[in-house]
A and B are shown apart, each in its own frame.
Chain A
Amino acid sequence: MNSKLINYSWQFGLFILLSLVIIGTYFYAPLAKGLGEYTRVMYFHVPAAWVTVVAFFMGAFYSFMYLRKRDLLFDFYAEAASQLGIIFCILATITGALWAKESWGAYWNWDPRQTSIFILLLIYGAYFSLRSAIEQNETKARLSAVYSLLAFITVPFFIFIIPRIYESLHPDPLVNTEGKLKMNAKMLTVFLSSLGGFTIVFFWLMHLKKTFIQLSIKLQKLTDQEN
């Protein structure tokens, strides 16, 4: 009863936070010069990209744990985290492309930001291709764990470094090339709340995926006992 109450109370808290973010996006935060209404896209496009990084980091972490412990459960967790990473990466790409259509005139411009996120999608797409190409569970887990660790090394380059090196049409990141944080206080409040909310949603999704994996293993064991 107590754990159920705690469970519902944090979910209710998250619901309130995300509702406030949506209200803040449209009625509290001012618009940035030059971006007009498209300023509002930032409050969910950037957090989606941020969660992509967190998810791929978790994927690399569980891969590392698999290589240390050789427990297949960690491999399943790494796959789940990478799946979530791909979903958020696609969300960030789609919202970015819709924004680009209205701001730059075309959905896709091969801008450094768009190119780097596209390469990242290819790298993690290859992770799933690798997994589907190997049947033997231990070999699949070992090879994909090594691949996931190598793939994660490229993430900071494609998300944070390359877009700052080349000239881009993309608006300045939160911490710009001069290393300064340039954002109105109201905008920053909504933005950081959104970032926090998205991060909690990711960990909730990750928790659900882990529960799903554990239950699938339990069901498999029950089926094996019956046969």
Chain B
Amino acid sequence: MPDVYIVLGINLIVWAGIFGYLVSLHSKISKLKSKIDERLSQK
């Protein structure tokens, strides 16, 4: 396999890892916010 594709693969692993983690954190925060809003509206 040409070296440039291997490098591209390594690059993709890094960015996919970082952005995957960013997205998962964002979704966890949104879930928590909606839970808090739900609790506050019940009061």
Chain A residues with CB under 8 Å of chain B are 22, 25-26, 36-38, 40-41, 44-45, 48, 87, 91, 94-95, 98-99, 102, 201, 204-205, 208-209, 211-212, 215-216, 218-219, 222-223, 226
Identify the closest chain B residue to A94 (Cβ). B13
Which applies to chain B's interface (DSSP): helix, strand, loop or mixed?
A: helix
Chain B residues with CB under 8 Å of chain A are 2-4, 6-7, 9-11, 13-15, 17-18, 21-22, 25-26, 28-29, 32-33, 35-36, 39-40
**A95 lies within 8 A of B13 (CB):** yes
Q: How many A-B residue pairs have CB under 8 A?
A: 73
Question: Given A208-B22, A218-B36, A222-B36, is A44 in contact with B29 using a C-beta cutoff of 8 Å?
Answer: no
**B11 lies within 8 A of A25 (CB):** yes
Known: A22-B11, A98-B13, A219-B32. 6 other contacts (CB 8 A): A44-B11, A45-B10, A201-B22, A208-B26, A211-B29, A212-B29
Question: Given A205-B25, A208-B29, A212-B25, is A219 in contact with B11 using a C-beta cutoff of 8 Å?
Answer: no
